[in-house]
Amino acid sequence: MIADTIRTNTYRLGILRNRKAMEGKVVLDVGAGTGVLSIFCAQAGARKVYAVEASSIVEQAVRIVKLNSMEDRVEVIKGTLETVDLPEQVDVIVSEWMGYALLHESMLNSVIFARDKWLKPGGLILPDKAELFIAPINDLVVEDRLNFWSTVKSQYGVDMSSMTDFAKKCIMNRDITVNLVTVEDVLSHPSKFADLDLYTVTMENLRSVRGGFRCECFGSSSINAFCVWFAVTFAGEDKPLVLSTSPFSPETHWKQAVLYLDEAVDVMQDTKSTGTRRREEEDD
Amino acid sequence: MIADTIRTNTYRLGILRNRKAMEGKVVLDVGAGTGVLSIFCAQAGARKVYAVEASSIVEQAVRIVKLNSMEDRVEVIKGTLETVDLPEQVDVIVSEWMGYALLHESMLNSVIFARDKWLKPGGLILPDKAELFIAPINDLVVEDRLNFWSTVKSQYGVDMSSMTDFAKKCIMNRDITVNLVTVEDVLSHPSKFADLDLYTVTMENLRSVRGGFRCECFGSSSINAFCVWFAVTFAGEDKPLVLSTSPFSPETHWKQAVLYLDEAVDVMQDTKSTGTRRREEEDD
């Protein structure tokens, strides 16, 4: 994860640019992992950072904090955010909570819990805004994979075309498909379909993150999937800093999420694709 | 799997080249999957093929056999080889049983069971020979991944060098590491360390597949791992046909297995690396 330089650099800058807000303050790092964000906060002047991490990676965080002689300022706490007891309220919450497609197995619930229980009124959350985007794509990899079964007969003399449906079902039944989408496969400008303000979003809101979208296709092609990605924003003293996982931005470990259609749809220039996305729990 | 053309083509040729042995004969396909090998056998002239498959992919095999109008010759049977009851003894056993590094989660036990229970005396097994090879390598990917932690300080101002040991442990503790080894990373000619004759090998033999190896390095480098791969051979009326998963052969889905050393060892030209490999169950 640290090797995802886009992610780590953006977090680092997002924290360092908030020196004024960090100076002498108390920070809570939700899901601290190896503790690298906690150390960035201490470097930005935080008086105390509580690095809360539930998994066994916490042992590495303890070693790293020692190695950097930060024991006096960074306190590593093993436990879930929901159960730990901090000695004080905090001025800042920092967290790298985003899952694939933003919310897939994300830790946003823990950040909301932390905000409601431990953040002082007027405190800072980094990042403080999340946005979801969508665009129709022509996924050539999956198209090739499905077409493959129709080519087996000419290649091996065995008709395996009946596998196309089965392969399609396997792809559709996946919990989530995460691919690196090629810019050339994106068929329109992206459409933002949801916004989350981390100061106000509630766990109840997360049960149904939804929004309409409207995309106009660049030219003749075939839509066989929609691609979903996110961006999060760090407010700053100067201008805000955006960590984007768009296919138009440099690659991150989040790549993009791909939602396949049952059937591909041919499109021309300016063909509009519109829709509403809601979380599965809400589907009939 | 079918998309692994090296695998499928070699099996197809290995079967078709045995037309004389197949003609009018009865075949058992152990772990038939989609049934493609069974159909190759029918195409090679088999009178009857029993395609035994335990997983739910068997339903696809049934559809594919129908699609190819082979129902009279290919009988798909859902079940484990160890429990199915065939109406007759067979002349030929065909199976694609090989796992990573040949024996990792392989189905060779089922092939041996099938041979002992169902193969007529003098019957044919395809493939009938398996060989294991080893060579020292310099795995640059893992070296870079481990070195990475020493570079975090200069990049982000946080000393994370203590993660190197942890990352190394994570790599060593993996059940098996399967990578595509680059030819340039291989530091010597390969050494064959084990042979299996499918007509005679026993389940007891499989508990301890072992053999010595001796490799002489090409030149100055550093060995940080050994790479293991296999080849299987189809006897034929003309010359035998080899399906090799060597890093020097075209890529297959088996790639190669990589066994990392605790510490890298510097070598020069003609440095000898020797050893014995035994299955883990035997380790102290």
Averaged over A32-46, what is the pLDDT? 97
Of B126, B156, B183, which closes a domain?
A: B126
Of A126, A149, A165, which closes a domain?
A: A126
A53-111: per-residue pLDDT in tens?
Answer: 999 999 999 999 999 999 999 999 999 999 999 999 999 999 999 999 999 999 999 99
Alpha carbon distance B113, B201 (integer Å):
11
- Residue A56 and residue A162 in one domain: no
Chain A residues inside the 8 Å CB shell of B148:
2-3
Chain B residues inside the 8 Å CB shell of A43:
157-158
Is the pTM for the entire model greater than 0.80?
Answer: yes
- Residue A137 and residue A121 in one domain: no
- Strand B26-30 and strand B48-53: the pairing is parallel
Enzyme catalytic residues of A: 96, 105
**Which of A40, A156, A163 lies nearest to residue B60, judging by beta carbons?**
A163
Q: What is the DSSP letter of B184?
A: G
Judged by phi (left if over 0) then psi (alpha if -120 to 50, else beta), residue B242 lies in beta
Handedness of CA A202, A208, A213, A219 (dihedral sign): positive
Number of domains in chain A: 2
Q: Output the six-digit token pair for A124.
A: 């800072």
Residue B134 has pLDDT above 90, yes or no: yes
Q: Which of B190, B185, B198, B144 is nearest to B167 (CA)?
A: B144
Neighbours of A260 (CB within 10 A): 18
- Residue A159 and residue A54 in one domain: no
**How many CB pairs (< 8 A) connect A and B?**
72
Q: Which is higher by pLDDT, B280 or A198? A: A198
pLDDT for res A73? 98
Chain B residues inside the 8 Å CB shell of A155:
5
Neighbours of A85 (CB within 10 A): 6
**Which of A43, A68, A159 lies nearest to residue B67, judging by beta carbons?**
A159
Q: Which of B244, B242, B240 is nearest to B17 (CA)?
A: B240
Indicate which CATH number applies to the domain containing B155: 2.70.160.11
Alpha carbon distance B231, A138 (integer Å):
39
Q: In degrees rounded to 5, what are phi and psi of residue B32? A: -70, -20
Average pLDDT, whole number, for chain B? 93
Residue B202 has pLDDT above 90, yes or no: yes
- Residue B70 and residue B137 in one domain: no
Amino acid in position A150: S
Chain B residues inside the 8 Å CB shell of A68:
158-159
In B39-58, the residues whose Cβ lies within 8 Å of chain A are 39-40, 43
Residue A282 has pLDDT above 50, yes or no: no
DSSP line for B134-163: EEEE--HHHHHHHHHHHHHHHHHS---TTH
- Residue A122 and residue A153 in one domain: no
- Residue B152 and residue B54 in one domain: no
Burial class (CB in 10 A: 0-12, 13-18, 19+), A277: middle
Q: Predicted ipTM?
A: 0.87
Chain A residues inside the 8 Å CB shell of B3:
145, 148
- Residue A69 and residue A184 in one domain: no
Indicate which CATH number applies to the domain containing A40: 3.40.50.150
Residue A122 has pLDDT above 80, yes or no: yes
- Residue B112 and residue B151 in one domain: no
Residue B281 has pLDDT above 50, yes or no: no
Chain A contact for B159 (CB, 8 A cutoff): yes
Q: Which is higher by pLDDT, A208 or A14? A: A14
pLDDT for res A278? 52
- Residue B185 and residue B226 in one domain: yes
Percent of chain B with pLDDT over 70: 97
- Residue B120 and residue B165 in one domain: no
- Residue B136 and residue B260 in one domain: yes
Best interface-test mutation with A: which of B144, B158, B161 has the largest number of A CBs within 10 A?
B158
CA distances from B92 to B53, B95, B187 (A): 17, 10, 40
pLDDT for res A145? 87
Domain carrying residue A100: 5-126
Averaged over B122-139, what is the pLDDT? 97
| Contact check, Cβ <8 Å, A43/B157 | yes
Average pLDDT, whole number, for chain A? 93
| Contact check, Cβ <8 Å, A63/B157 | no
Neighbours of B202 (CB within 10 A): 9
Contact yes or no for B46/B14 (Cβ under 8 A): no
B56-78: per-residue pLDDT in tens?
Answer: 999 999 999 999 999 999 999 99
**Which of B148, B156, B161 lies nearest to residue A12, judging by beta carbons?**
B156
Burial class (CB in 10 A: 0-12, 13-18, 19+), A61: buried
Residue A283 has pLDDT above 70, yes or no: no
Helices vs. strands in chain B: H and E counts, helices first: 8, 13
Alpha carbon distance B69, A221 (integer Å):
37
Alpha carbon distance A191, A109 (integer Å):
25
Of A111, A126, A141, which closes a domain?
A: A126
- Residue B155 and residue B101 in one domain: no
Neighbours of B100 (CB within 10 A): 21
Chain B contact for A64 (CB, 8 A cutoff): yes
Alpha carbon distance B105, B100 (integer Å):
7
Chain A contact for B165 (CB, 8 A cutoff): no
